[in-house]
Amino acid sequence: MAKKPNKSSGGNASIVVNKKARFDYHIDERFEAGLSLTGWEVKSLRAGKVQLVDSYVILKNGEAWLVGAQITPLNTASTHVIADPRRDRKLLLKKRELAKLLQTIEQKGHTCVCTALYWKHHLVKAEIALARGKKEFDKRATEKDRDWARHKQRIMRK
């Protein structure tokens, strides 16, 4: 009998992280949202076939939707279903959180992006964040800080 893999503390296990969002935006506030998925999408998430690079969150008709996230279907899991890898997926949030998102997004320069997908026990959760776009010089400063941190690590190892 095979051993079950160890889960990280609290049952959280990361599926995918949107590194580009952290590079392109200043992250102000984070929210945890449930994700409405079909069966084949959950199987693909378990296999790690998901990309969040160009994804964002829109609010329409009082609901939040994840747009642009690509979940590639498995050949074995979606044989009887016509799968759309880029379909809009509904985010499950409380009314108070939706109101706060709507109020902040209406301000100039703010947007809402998905920064990560992860497992919380047996459920898939999305970490969405209110963000402001970075200017070009901010991105250069981020790269400079990251390079300096790498250089410090190299010096410390020697």
Q: Give 68's contacts (C-beta < 8 A, 6+ positions apart).
A: 54, 55, 56, 86
Q: Per the domain annotation, does 2 fall within a domain? A: no
Residue 32 clears pLDDT 70, i.e. is over it: yes
Residue 43 clears pLDDT 80, i.e. is over it: yes
Please answer whether residues 131 and 110 qualify as being in contact, where contact means their C-beta atoms are separated by less than 8 angstroms.
Answer: yes
pTM over 0.85: no
Domain assignment of residue 110, given as a range:
9-157
Report the number of distinct structural domains present in the chain: 1
Query: Looking at residue 1, what is its pLDDT?
Result: 45
Q: What is the pLDDT of residues 51-106, one digit of tens each?
A: 998 899 999 998 999 999 999 988 886 667 777 888 899 999 999 999 999 988 88
Q: Per the domain annotation, does 125 fall within a domain? A: yes
**CATH code (residue 151):** 2.40.280.10
Q: Per the domain annotation, does 68 fall within a domain? A: yes
Q: Per the domain annotation, does 3 fall within a domain? A: no
Q: Per the domain annotation, does 4 fall within a domain? A: no
Q: Per the domain annotation, does 31 fall within a domain? A: yes
Q: Per the domain annotation, does 1 fall within a domain? A: no
Q: Per the domain annotation, does 40 fall within a domain? A: yes
Residue 3 clears pLDDT 60, i.e. is over it: no
Q: Give 7's contacts (C-beta < 8 A, 6+ positions apart).
A: 13
